[in-house]
């Protein structure tokens, strides 16, 4: 068994797709399939169930996943130790990001990282399952660092540093009945249709929790993966929604010209809290530490 076998296995396990795994590894799909078959022969067990509905891990595959991750992490730590004797930082850092982040100037941070440590590579992954998915990938070891939104105290199995804490505002079309009111209660919104992110997205979780606490049912009529695009749907009357101040500042210089209006919620303090997080059970690599240090510098 070689490290390459485990890397290919983890790529398929992370993506549940041989095609996506091949793209991530930058190899042909047949090479991934052949490597997985060789690994299954060596272990004497099927690791994946392949079917028309996609790829799923078998019980043996689930069992191997954590051990494979630990082996890859141990090999990485060994490389870090050797590189440290030469004063070099090398390696790959996989970072999970939300679709709408302008709080941290990530391109500038990465440019500085590459300038200081040319031997470091960063792979960026957007959140296909929102903050909940990013947190899950951190726990599984599929990500080294992630920008995530938590609605309460961050979980104990993740190290989380607060990046931003801003209010969320109700956004309605400029001609909407609520637009002329300076503030409303959540009860005033009962029965209205909403535009929001899918379940698992931080924006959605914050609002869902507030309505649940208030005991008010909410209907999300339209789900959008990139919450910044919600403004266009709201403007066209497909629903009302909540956006944080960063998103509003990023999209619009003039709210009135945008055809939208913002309304404050009087009886609940809806806050959008963004964190940069790492696993609390797995030490970060030297390359990840270098990137975290630059992110910290950016936030000061």
pLDDT at 240: 96
Identify the three-state secondary structure at position 61.
Answer: helix
pLDDT at 100: 66
Write down how long the chain is: 300
pLDDT at 252: 61
206-222 pLDDT, tens per residue?
999 999 999 999 999 99
132-152 pLDDT, tens per residue?
889 988 888 889 999 999 998
Q: Rounded to an integer, what distance in angstroms lies between the CA atom of residue 237 and that of residue 172?
A: 8
Pairing of strands 120-126, 260-265: unpaired
pLDDT at 253: 57
* Tens of each residue's pLDDT in the chain, 300 residues: 889 999 999 989 988 889 888 887 889 999 999 999 999 999 999 999 988 778 899 999 999 998 998 898 888 878 877 877 777 788 889 999 987 677 889 999 999 999 999 989 998 988 777 898 899 888 888 899 999 999 989 999 999 999 999 999 999 999 999 998 889 999 999 999 999 999 988 889 999 999 999 999 999 999 998 777 888 899 999 999 999 877 777 666 555 557 889 999 998 999 999 999 999 988 888 899 999 999 999 988
pLDDT at 244: 85
H-run or E-run covering 23: helix 18-25
In the numeric block, the tokens 């975290």 are attached to 292
pLDDT at 20: 84
pLDDT at 152: 87
**Prediction pTM value:** 0.76
Q: Rounded to an integer, what distance in angstroms lies between the CA atom of residue 162 and that of residue 149?
A: 9
Contact predicate 85/132, CB 8 Å: no
């Amino acid at each position: 068994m070689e490290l390459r076998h485990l890397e290919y296995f983890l790529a398929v396990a992370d993506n549940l797709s041989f095609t996506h795994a091949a793209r991530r590894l930058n190899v042909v799909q047949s090479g991934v399939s052949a490597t997985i078959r060789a690994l299954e022969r060596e272990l004497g067990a099927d690791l994946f169930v392949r079917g028309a509905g996609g790829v799923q891990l078998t019980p043996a595959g689930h069992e191997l996943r954590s051990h494979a991750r630990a082996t890859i992490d141990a090999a990485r730590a060994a490389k870090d130790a050797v590189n440290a004797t030469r004063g070099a930082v090398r390696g790959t850092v996989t970072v999970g990001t939300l679709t709408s982040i302008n709080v941290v100037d990530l391109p500038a941070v990465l440019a500085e990282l590459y300038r200081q440590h040319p031997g470091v590579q960063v792979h960026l992954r957007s959140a296909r399952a929102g903050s909940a998915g990013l947190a899950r990938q951190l726990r599984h070891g599929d990500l080294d660092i992630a920008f995530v939104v938590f609605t309460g105290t961050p979980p104990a199995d993740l190290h989380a540093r607060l990046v931003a804490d801003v209010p969320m505002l109700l956004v309605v079309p400029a001609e909407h009945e609520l637009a002329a009111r300076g503030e409303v209660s959540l009860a005033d919104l009962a029965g209205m249709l909403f535009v929001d992110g899918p379940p698992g997205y931080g924006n959605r979780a914050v609002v869902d929790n507030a309505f649940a606490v208030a005991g008010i049912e909410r209907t999300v009529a339209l789900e959008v993966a990139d919450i910044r695009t919600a403004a266009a749907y709201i403007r066209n009357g497909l629903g009302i929604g909540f956006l944080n101040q960063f998103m509003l500042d990023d999209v619009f210089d003039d709210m009135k010209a945008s055809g939208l209006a913002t309304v404050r919620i009087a009886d609940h303090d809806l806050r959008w809290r963004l964190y940069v997080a790492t696993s609390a059970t797995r030490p970060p690599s030297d390359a990840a530490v270098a990137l975290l240090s630059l992110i910290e510098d950016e936030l000061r």
